[in-house]
Structure 1
Amino acid sequence: MVKRDELVSFLDEYLNISAYPDKSSNGLQVEGKEEVERVAFTVDTTLRTIERAAKAGADMMIVHHGMIWGGLEYVTGVHYKRLKALIEKGLNLYVAHLPLDAHPEVGNNVELLKLLGLEPKGPFGEYKGLTIGFWSEFREPQPIEKIAQIIAEKLDTTVRTYEFGKREIKMVGAVSGAGAFALEEAWRRGIDLLITGEFGHADYLTAIDLPQSVLVAGHYKTETLGVKALMPVLKEKFGLDVFFIDEPTGL
C-alpha cells in the first residue's frame, strides 16, 4: 500500500508529465482514496472500465485516455455519469496521454518497435512542437508482409497495409493511435514504413501521392502497450497489486 500523493508524485516525475502541453489534462484528473493498494490499468475512461475497476477492488485507474480534454466546462451528460461513478466508488483517475506515447522506456511507440525486436534509434513524429514517436531499422530489409504478420499476431488484431512506397522495409517509424500526421515526415526522412493506429480518407490520399508505405494496427490495440508496460514498474517500485482491463473498440 502507498499514499496516493506519493504514487502521483512518482508518476508525474517518471512520465515527465509537465514536459507535455497536451489537450488531455495529464496527471491526477480525479481524486479518490488517499491510500492505494490495487491499481487498474486500461486505455479508456468509460463507465464500463470504471465499473470493472471498482468491482475488482481497484483504488486507482491509470489510463491513456482520460475524461478531461481541453478543460471541463459542464458536468452534464456523459461527463456527469463518469465523474459520479468515480467519486461514488472512491477511485483515483490518473491520466498519461502524450507522455505515455513518448516515454523512452514504457511508451506506446517504443513498445511497438519492441514487438519487431527493435530498439529505438531516435525520435520521430513531431506533433505540435513535441516529438512523440520513435524510429528504428532492421539489419536487413524485411518484407512488409512479414512485419504485418508479426504485429497482427502480437497485438491480436487485424492489420491493414498500404504498400504505396517500399515493400522491402529497413527503416520503421512508430506513432501509435492517430499517428497519420507523421506521413510527410516519414517520407522526408526516408522512413520506409510508418506504423500507426488510424488511417483516414485524407491520409490515404496523402500516402499514395508521396508515396509512403503504412501499416495500420488499430488505435486501441496500439495504445494498450504503454499502460501494460507501466504495470510492472509500479508493482516492483511499490509492491502494488496491478491488473489490466481490456475493453477493445475494434477501431
Structure 2
Amino acid sequence: MRLSEIEEFILSLFDTKDNDCFHEESGITVRGTEEIKKIGYCTNLTLDTIEEARKNKVDLMITHHDAWDFIYGLKDACREKLLENNISHYFNHLPLDDCDFGTNNSLVEKLGLQIIEKTHLEDGFHCGRITETNVEITFEDLVQKLETLLEEPVKAWKFKDETIKRIGLVCGGGGFTTDLRVAAEKNCDVYITGEKVLYTIEYAKFIGMNLIIGSHTFTEIFGIESLAKKVKEKYNDIEIIRLMEEHLEAQ
C-alpha cells in the first residue's frame, strides 16, 4: 500500500480536518519508503521507538507525538535515523485528542465510562472529557482499574471520602491548575490526567478534589492504537504492531 493512500485515508477519518491548525498538529514528517507493508504504532517518536521499529522491520511509524522541539536536537536525530533505515513517519496530536476514536475516548471506553461533555478546548480541539459511571464506585477501585489498564502504578490523592460518580479526564498533558479547574466547575468527583505538577496537587487538596495521575505516554496509547487499527481495517494486507516503550514516568 502506498504511503500517500494511507495518509489520505487517515485524513478522511477526521471531522476537524478543516481546522487551520490540523496540519500543524498531524501529518507525514519523514517520507522513507512509500511502499507500506508493516506499521508500528506508539505514543512517542524517540530514538528508542525508532530502534524498535527497525528491529521489527516496520515501514511506517504512526505516533501520537512528533519528536518534541524542546528536547533539543531530538527531532533532527530522529529524522536522520528514520531516513537511515528508510522508515516513514506519521503523527497525529491534537486532532486525535479530540476525535471520537482518539486518546480520550479510547481510555474512557476502556474504563467503562459514559461521556457527558467534551471540554478543554485548545486551538479548536477538545482535549478533555467529563464522564460518568453507571454505578458509583470507590476511589480505590478506580485507581486499581487504571493501573491494570496502563500496566504501571499511578499516583493517587484521595482528598474526599465520597464514592465516585463523575470523572473529569485529560489524557496526557493535562497537569495544569486550569485543567483541574474545569473538572471542578463541572462538579467532578475525581480528575485523571498524565502529568504531575505540584501546583495541581495543592489545588486538588485545597478544593477537595480526588486526583489520579498516570503517565503521559500510557494514558494516550489507546488512541494511537485505535488509529492504527482503523488503518488495518481499511487495508487488510497491512500488518500492525505495537512498539514497546519504557515506563520512564513510573520509575
Q: CA RMSD in A?
A: 2.2
Across the two proteins, how many residue pairs are aligned to each other? 244
Residue 140 (str. 1) matches residue 135 (str. 2): yes
AA aligned opposite 2:156 = T
AA aligned opposite 2:51 = E
Q: Do the aligned partners of residues 131 and 78 (structure 1) sit closer, same or farther apart at CA in structure 2, a change above 3 Å counting?
A: closer
- What are the residue-to-residue correspondences of 1:71-220 with 2, within 5 Å? 77-105=73-101, 107-128=102-123, 130-165=125-160, 167-181=162-176, 182-220=179-217
> Structure 1, residues 160-197: CA drift from partner, whole Å, max 9, x if none?
22222463110112211111232001101111111111
Query: Is 1:152–1:158's contact at 8 Å kept on the other side of the alignment?
Result: yes
For the residue of structure 1 that corresponds to 2:115, the secondary structure is coil
Q: Name the CA distance, whole Å, in 1 between partners of 2:154 and 2:76.
A: 36
1:61 aligned partner: 61
Query: Is 2:133–2:166's contact at 8 Å kept on the other side of the alignment?
Result: yes
How far 1:55 sits from its partner (Å)? 2.4
How far 1:32 sits from its partner (Å)? 1.6
Structure 2: give runs of 5+ residues left out of the alignment.
none
1:27 aligned partner: 27
Q: Do the aligned partners of residues 46 and 17 (structure 1) sit closer, same or farther apart at CA in structure 2, a change above 3 Å counting?
A: farther
How far 1:134 sits from its partner (Å)? 1.8
How far 1:129 sits from its partner (Å)? 5.0
For the residue of structure 1 that corresponds to 2:149, the secondary structure is helix
2:38 aligned partner: 38
For the residue of structure 2 that corresponds to 1:120, the secondary structure is strand
Worse-superposed segment, 36-45 or 158-167: 158-167
How far 1:69 sits from its partner (Å)? 4.5
Q: Name the CA distance, whole Å, in 2 between partners of 1:24 and 1:249.
A: 28
TM-score after normalising by structure 1: 0.88
Structure 1: give runs of 5+ residues left out of the alignment.
71-75
> Structure 1, residues 116-152: CA drift from partner, whole Å, max 9, x if none?
2123232122335532122221133211111111111
TM-score after normalising by structure 2: 0.88
Q: Name the CA distance, whole Å, in 1 between partners of 2:195 and 2:24.
A: 19
Identity %: 27
1:3 aligned partner: 2
